Chains A and B, each alone.
Chain A
Amino acid sequence: MTTLTDPPHPKSGTKPRAPRAGGPAGHPVRAEGLRGLGPWAGAAVLVAVAVGMGTGLDRWQGDWAETGRRLHAAACLLGAPLAVAAGCRQGGRERRRGTGELLRTAVRPPLARFLVSGLPVALWAVAGYLVAAVAALLATWPYAQGDRPYPASLPADAVLIAAAALTGQVLGRRVAWWPVAPLAGLAAYAASAAVAYQDPGALGRLAPSADGAYGTVPLWWQPVAMSVWTGSLALTAVLACTVRRRVLAFAPLAAAAVAGVLLVQAGDRLWHERPLAHRQVCDTSTTPRICVDARYAGLLPQVVRALSGVTDRLAGVRGLPVRFEDRPGRPRRDEVELPMLTPVGRTVVRGRLTDPRQYAFEAGAALTGRQDCARTDPRVSAVDDAVQHYLAPNPAEASFDRAAARGDADDRAALASRRAARARLAAMGATERRQWLSAYFATARGCDPGEVPSL
């Protein structure tokens, strides 16, 4: 057998490397998957989603629904555009590398060749996303205070990313212009972002990045229909450019049409309130009782502890609201609203109340608030302030007082009357104060200054 020999290569100056343990030649998918663009695409999606999620950590960690919503947004805004760009670049590879001539003599049908070069990129991108998504779910788990994970949109997002990569590959094959990859990625990002974070409208519901209002989750079949819609469109593009009998492309197109019609017709019913949304869990040992949203039931002990100062001081007082409630919308007549626990990231971060003193102050202020009154009498304000100071003082009270002390004559007079009222309430005996507070809370919602007992 004649062989060509390999003369020593003086230019390179390096000894020929010992053959690496490459093993016998496997299926080309393996080579494409290991040495092609795929690992880079996967790493890019993983890093982009991880950084995107990681920068806003406070605002989703510990909240299953918000974690799911953010992951879905990351898939649409980062995963899919990157996958389109990577697919586009992979699709232009034969042109860049000049292998088109050789490939045209291949026996394998074009569809098989397309999938061998396209699927590894798509699967790597999906893997990158799923790794980031699982990491995000694991990051939420230890801090979750109730509710349950919403992983239903993960498969749909995976299908979306794979579909984006394959569609990008079709585009990259068809368009012989190198900027098409960045432009396609940018266009996908712009289109996704234009629909995300706002009411999508009827046709906008076809966009994978369309999302319901805060606190809602998609119906179980929304991700299924969305997967059929995106996957079938990508399949249509792939078949139209690789199969000799183009008619075959109509089959996925029909499936896409059915899914699209379903999505448009369902309208706002695609998203619903989470099952636990209107249920409350309550601690009945205190007066008023304390109830939090059942989705954050784990926060109840912390809330009770934070409000313990307020509820201890109210022991034995009559005329109080029955309970603190934590529902969206206005409280009922005999209820008072707890300070907002959600969206997470302000009052609650990683399953902990960020500032229990501030929380207690806001709860106390809600008990004494006269927000609905057109105007408040200065005397009544001083009384309200004294009650707030007694129940749970504003953490910023000292600085407000200092500012008032430096202010004009009116400010200083108001400060003096506030301080006097606080001192009088503090000086009362326990029984006297209970009786005075009972009289006060009987009028706490009223706007008539004459009814409020004086201090």
Chain B
Amino acid sequence: MTTIRLTGLTVRHRKAVALDGVDLALGTGVHGLLGPNGAGKTSLIRVLATVAEPAAGRVEILGEDVAGHRGRVAVRRRLGYLPQEFGHYPRFTVRDFVAYVAWLKELPAARTPAAVERAVARVGLADRIDARIGTLSGGMVRRVGLAQAIVNEPDLLLLDEPTAGLDPEQRVEFRGLLRELGAHATVIVSTHLVEDVAAACTEVTLLDAGRVAHHGTPGGLAALGADPDAPGENPVERGYAAALRAHRAAPAAGREAVR
């Protein structure tokens, strides 16, 4: 089922073009968003989060057009978002903060306490639920960010660099959580770590200079990197480099329609 449909999406950041006529359709599952710095990953996530306004094109999320106020509010109710820079109030406890976000999402008050506890337990912070966020380590704060993103059991979950600050063991567990969430929701993960994509994602989109350079499965990306002499440590990394090279070599064909 398609939950996100982007048509000719163009986003400008100040004067630079961050996304240039992107067409994309995504459904339930875990989608990895890869690309070099400045490729437009964060711009795409911010448009999907209804935070940034597109300069041109149409954005349809969960069947709603987000150009109108009513559509945006309807989408926001079913949205979870972990921004790249996750801001928080250090004096709030984990419980306070996640409950605050639940309130922002207009979760019914009767359901909130249980939803908060469940979300906090899922990110493994159950024993610190009444600790102030300011006393937590960087990785734990990142997990508070995850908890607030999933407190309303979102149908669309947007995670911008979610694994930054998590240690290897936590990343492995985090991938398990991603797979579980992706069974029922559309999860979009922007990341620099190709091994996260290989391990957890059902689909991968590679962005470069505001355009879609590759869209497929992690297996398909790995297949592009079959040549063991190419630069890169593993097939997915080699595939990533190969897809970028191929995209840059064919600028005229850059505006490919995917699917």
Contact = CB atoms under 8 A, between A and B. Distances in A.
A3 B113 contact: no
B176 interface: yes
A329 B106 CA distance: 67
A25 B99 contact: yes
Interface string A15-28: 01111111011111
A105 B79 contact: yes
B21 to A, nearest CB: 25
Given A3-B123, A22-B95, A99 B128 contact: no
A101 B51 contact: yes
Nearest to B52: A104
Interface size class of A (residues with CB under 8 A): 35 or more
B103 to A, nearest CB: 5
A99 B90 CA distance: 11
B127 A25 contact: no
Nearest to B93: A22
A107 B70 CA distance: 10
Interface in A1-33: 1-7, 9, 11-12, 16-22, 24-28, 31
B124 A106 contact: no
Contacts of B102: 25
B217 interface: no
Nearest to A12: B137
Given A101-B87, A102-B86, A31 B130 contact: no
B160 to A, nearest CB: 9
A31 B87 contact: no
Interface stretch (A53-61, A90-98, A171-179, A361-369): A90-98
Contacts of B167: 7
Interface string A78-114: 0000000000000001100111111111111000010
A323 to B, nearest CB: 66
Contact of B87 (A4, A5, A27, A94): A94
A36 interface: yes
Contacts of A116: 103
Q: Is the interface of A mostly helix, strand, loop or mixed?
A: loop
A27 B109 contact: yes
A105 B81 contact: yes
Given A4-B170, A25-B116, A105-B76, A9 B104 contact: no
Contacts of B116: 25
Nearest to B94: A22
A17 B131 CA distance: 8
Contact of A2 (B46, B83, B132, B180): B180
A35 B89 CA distance: 9
A106 B104 contact: yes
B45 to A, nearest CB: 10
B240 interface: no
Given A105-B76, A107-B76, A6 B127 contact: yes
A108 B104 contact: yes
A341 B77 CA distance: 69
A5 B170 contact: yes
Interface in B72-122: 73, 76-77, 79, 81, 83, 85-93, 95-106, 109, 112-113, 116-117, 121-122
A35 B96 contact: yes
Given A1-B180, A4-B174, A99 B88 contact: yes
A186 B76 CA distance: 40
* Most B Cβ at <10 Å: residue of A25, A94, A106, A244: A25
B6 interface: no
B169 interface: yes
Nearest to A94: B87
Nearest to A244: B69
Interface of B: 46, 49-51, 69, 73, 76-77, 79, 81, 83, 85-93, 95-106, 109, 112-113, 116-117, 121-132, 137, 140, 143, 146, 148, 166-167, 169-170, 173-174, 176-177, 179-180
Task: In the A-B complex, list the 7 residue pairs whose CB atoms are closest, starting with the nearest.
Answer: A98-B87, A25-B99, A4-B124, A22-B130, A99-B87, A24-B113, A31-B96
22 contacts: A2-B176, A2-B177, A3-B124, A4-B124, A4-B174, A5-B173, A16-B128, A17-B128, A19-B131, A25-B96, A25-B112, A28-B103, A31-B97, A97-B88, A101-B46, A101-B87, A102-B81, A102-B83, A105-B49, A107-B76, A108-B106, A113-B104
Interface of A: 1-7, 9, 11-12, 16-22, 24-28, 31, 35-36, 93-94, 97-108, 113, 116, 244
